[in-house]
Structure 1
Amino acid sequence: MKAEERVCFIQRLEELRESKVLVYFSYTPLDDSILVPLYEQLKEIGHTKKIDLVLHSYGGAVDTPYKVVMLIREFCEEFAVIVPFVAKSAASMLVLGADEVVMGPISELGPIDPLVKHPVYKDVLVPVQAFWHCLDFFQQLIVNSSNSEVATIIAAPMIGKLDPWLIGDYEKTIKASRQYAETLLSRYMLKNAPEKVPIVTHALTEGYYSHGYPIGRREAKELGIKVTEAHGELWDIIWNLYLGYEKLFKDKENE
């Protein structure tokens, strides 16, 4: 798909949604490097009534989604996120700062489980919850073993390799994800239903064991998230826009 075609899809999407449309499409972790180019785009648009963010991301840093929401909201009165396919983990947190999320039949949100750098393999990012599931495994091994002394002997060397500073840092990251989720939900997505905030926060930060668990539009609605279902021409435009950016990325990889 040529750039001109993508522009046409964006323009038509703006007409259908009566908004200004931004696109964030990435296969690399979401981090603060997005902020300056986003600010430059927002300055070009200027203050407007409504901004839609077309979002494709598998997640990233715990602090970035909050910064993105606050920045976009400096330039609009209404803010929505459009998810053609995937907005997982930290990207799902960004959704909580919107007034609505637009989803189609294949769209997925996910548990809020930020990525952190592996303490040994610096280029490897791991879900922070994986660390706590590891500790829980060792605890259950010791508690449920028929011979707790043997289990302790087995587990102790591995637990002894854990850095207390890392344990504290990972705990801080988990608490930060809960705090951000609660803040964004109470200010925006669920501002008219404050009683649902702790329920949705708990579900998204602690209610799923799989980092990649797919939360489709029906389940998102059941959780209490404000979902607008995309149908007809609206969905066709959103999906074709996704396919256009996916092809753009694949073409760059093959260059």
Structure 2
Amino acid sequence: MNFIDLIWLFFIASALSPIIQKKMLESARLRLIRKIEKDRKSRVIAMIHRQETMALLGFPIFKYIDIQDSEEVMRAIRMTDEAVPIDLVLHTPGGLVLAAEQIAYALKGHKAKVTVFVPHYAMSGGTLIALAADEIVMDPHAVLGPVDPQLGQYPAASILKVLEKKDINKIDDQTLIMADISHKALNQVKNCVKTILSPKLSEEKAEQIADLLSRGQWTHDYPITYKQAKELGLPVSTKMPVEIYQLMNLYPQPVQRRPSVQYIPVPYKGGEERPNKSML
């Protein structure tokens, strides 16, 4: 074997290594999902959106709720007997309203208990999906978010504010058209939230929550904490199984050249001696 052969072997190994690592990671995910299913006697569905990177070119790909997600989740629900509970692990910044509504209605229609686990955040469309659950299990520091619709780069509620603050004769046609669409979008999302929350909550409570989350009272990235969700009357708890955190570890962000967060990855307990440099 000469030097050229060694170079070819290096390139082949470099090309195959990411594929092998990906397969091993997928296998580990499936094993853990199956373990959770056996422990909880449920169907586990994971919808975890991380920023991913193309294998060869290194371009970042931003993940969000899309039609493919709704198709896959609805297919999983159809394959689940009505008597089998569903556990949805949700980690998402949001996405398409249509896709989020489809998933929410499909979960609402499932007769057995539906539990949504939010280990970190489920914003916007993710919150809309979480509202369809019989129970939302949040990490004590996890957050939900408002579901007010966005038209392009502008919140629908903010577009309507223009009509209130400016003479209609001084508003251009495009803004008026966007305001009309914004009015419809706000009503549609509010009605959707109200429908999803009924009959789990009273009609009055469902109306109150639907209005608060959709009317644009907060910025779209406003964090609704566990405490605030509890005060709103949502069915939330903090009984997060440790396996959910383990599952999240199997969906890592792309490795950067210089990590922005570092720590010693071992549990620390009170009164124990901390590892020092000489011990590592």
Q: TM-score, structure 1 length as denominator?
A: 0.74
Match of 2:271 in 1: none
Is it true that 1:20 corresponds to 2:26 in the alignment?
no
Q: Which runs of 5+ in 2 are unaligned?
A: 1-23, 50-61, 256-280
Q: 8 Å contact 1:25–1:55 — kept in the other structure?
A: yes
Determine the C-alpha separation between the residues in 1 that align with 2:246 and 2:155: 31
Question: CA–CA distance in 2 between the matches of 1:240 and 1:75?
Answer: 27
Q: Distance in 2 between matches of 1:214 and 1:32?
A: 25
Alpha-carbon offset, residue 46 of structure 1? 4.2
Asked whether the 8 Å contact 1:83–1:103 carries over to 2, the reply is: yes
Q: Which residue of 2 aligns with 1:238?
A: 244
Go from structure 1 to structure 2 and tell me whether the alpha carbon gap of 1:127 and 1:163 turns closer, same or farther (over 3 Å shift). Answer: closer
Deviates most, 15-24 or 78-87: 15-24
Cα contact 1:80–1:102 (8 A) shared by 2: yes
Q: Which residue of 1 aligns with 2:157?
A: 129
Instruction: List 4+ stretches of structure 1 deviating above 4 A.
Output: 73-76
Identify which range, 70-79 or 18-27, moves more after superposition.
Answer: 70-79
- Equivalent of 1:87 in 122, 128, 143: 122
* Cα deviation 1:218-242 (Å, max 9, x = unaligned): 11001000002125xx1x2222222
Letter in 2 for 1:240: Q
CA–CA separation in structure 1 for the residues paired with 2:65 and 2:123:
10
> Where in structure 2 are the equivalents of 1:60-209 lying within 5 Å?
60-116=95-151, 118=152, 125-133=153-161, 135=162, 139=165, 159-160=171-172, 162-188=174-200, 190=201, 193-206=202-215, 208-209=217-218
d(CA) in 2 for partners of 1:19, 1:130? 42
**Secondary structure, in 3 states, of the residue corresponding to 2:115?**
strand
Judged with a 3 Å threshold, the aligned counterparts in structure 2 of structure 1 residues 163 and 207 are, in CA distance, closer, same or farther, namely: closer
CA contact (8 A) 1:59 1:114 kept: no
| Unaligned ranges ≥5, structure 1 | 119-124, 143-151
- Residues 207 and 221 of structure 1: is their aligned pair in 2 closer, same or farther, counting only changes over 3 Å? farther
State percent identity of aligned pairs: 26
Displacement after TM superposition at 1:126 (Å): 4.1
Q: How does 1:197-236 map to 2 (within 5 A)?
A: 197-206=206-215, 208-231=217-240, 234=241, 236=242
Asked whether 1:7 is paired with 2:30, we answer yes
Letter in 2 for 1:18: K
**Residue 16 of structure 1, CA deviation:** 4.2
Indicate how the Cα distance of structure 1 residues 16 and 206 shifts in structure 2: closer, same or farther if over 3 A, else same: farther
How many angstroms does 1:175 deviate by?
0.7
Q: How many residues align?
A: 221
Greater helix fraction, Structure 1 or Structure 2: 1
Match of 1:208, SS?
coil
User: Taking structure 1 as reference, are residues 56 and 75 closer, same or farther at Cα in structure 2, changes over 3 Å only?
Assistant: same
Question: How far off is 1:74 after superposition?
Answer: 4.8
